[in-house]
Amino acid sequence: MSRYLLRRLAQIIPTLFVVSILIFGLQQLLPGDPALVMAGEERDPEVIEQIRKQYRLDQPLPVRYAYWIGGVLQGDLGESMRIKRPVGELVLEKLPVTLELATLALLIALLIGIPAGIISAVFKNTVWDYGANVIALWGISTPNFWLGILLIFLFSVQLGWLPASGYVSLREDPLGNLASMIMPAFVLGNAIAAVMMRHTRSAMLQTLNADYVRTARAKGVSETAVVIRHALRNALTPVITLGAIEFGALLSGAVLTEQVFSIPGFGKLIVDAVFNRDYAVVQGVVLVTASCYILLNLLADLAYAVVNPRLRTAKA
């Protein structure tokens, strides 16, 4: 297991290197000139030239990449061209907001999707199975922005239970923070729960028909123990994979949901940076997001070994 972990850690370095090249290279394909955007309406040639020199926009791409990756290795993601703040500060400011939203959304998805998938598989071809599938289809088909607007109308406008938009820091007011985050978290978690329910159901149907499950039943093991201890544990592998992918997607910024609920997270940060041609911010946010994806995949691989001892022996 330790050798497997070391191999995976060794693979992270070249992967991040290739990702950094792609991020920097694809960034240059964005239309428009950031120097012209920053120069304002007058666009004084001297000002434009000074901006190009200040941000090394007049240098060849390999030189600019070398400066950027050198700063990244030292923990410096650069400075925002638009608001003159270090990108690292912006990331540290916005990441906790999106991290909290993603965690709440994934928690809601797990609490809804896994039990619904288990019930649907155990009671196959019954009203419970049909009901769970109908709810899953509704969750997959419902646009997040429409569900968000509907929840705002119901719980904020009509009932007045929750704030319609805005964000309250967890440190300032924990209850206010929960009130401001519960609706966007449910909107995001609802869609993930639907997909997770389908994956859990499919995996459970396969494991419930496995030989070791029949053997456990033949030994007189209770049905609850068979489902939870034997079937579910082995069916969690695809669910873990899905959870890691969806959590990474949430960290990359749920743009529409954050816009509907005015949540100041990664989604708004990256959209504003793209529109303003703020190269440093776009590169920094995308690099952090890619790093999170890689880390989540590593954690998912380690989780496989925790839930399935056979994989632990194979990876040792």
Q: Could you report the per-residue pLDDT of 237-247, keeping only the tens digit for each?
A: 778 878 888 88
Q: Where are the beta strands (DSSP E) in 13-54?
A: none
Encoding tokens for residue 15? Answer: 């992967």
Encoding tokens for residue 249? Answer: 């997607």
Q: How confident is the model at residue 308 (pLDDT cuts 50, 70, 90)?
A: low
- From the list 232, 224, 225, the residue with the least C-alpha distance to 208 is 232
Whether residue 269 contacts residue 281, with contact meaning beta carbons closer than 8 Å, is answered with: yes
Q: How far apart are CA 80 and CA 200, in angstroms?
A: 43
Average pLDDT over residues 83-104: 85
Encoding tokens for residue 151? Answer: 């929840």
DSSP designation for 164 = S
pLDDT averaged over the chain?
80
* Residue bearing tokens 């950031």: 34
In whole angstroms, what separates CA 252 from the centre of its chain? 5
pLDDT tens by residue, 188-240:
888 888 888 888 888 888 888 777 777 877 877 777 777 777 777 777 777 88
pLDDT tens by residue, 128-157:
888 888 888 888 888 887 888 888 888 888
Would the pLDDT of 1 be above 60? no
Task: Fill in the amino acid letter for 80.
Answer: S
- Domains along the chain? 2-73 (no CATH), 96-314 (1.10.3720.10)
Q: What is the largest CA-CA distance in the chain?
A: 85
Neighbouring C-beta atoms of residue 116, cutoff 10 Å? 24
| Predicted local confidence at residue 85, as pLDDT | 84
CA dihedral 58, 286, 264, 195 (to 10 degrees): 150
| Predicted local confidence at residue 6, as pLDDT | 75
In whole angstroms, how large is the CA radius of gyration of the chain? 24
| Predicted local confidence at residue 312, as pLDDT | 53
pLDDT tens by residue, 5-55:
677 777 788 888 888 888 887 777 666 666 766 666 666 677 777 777 777
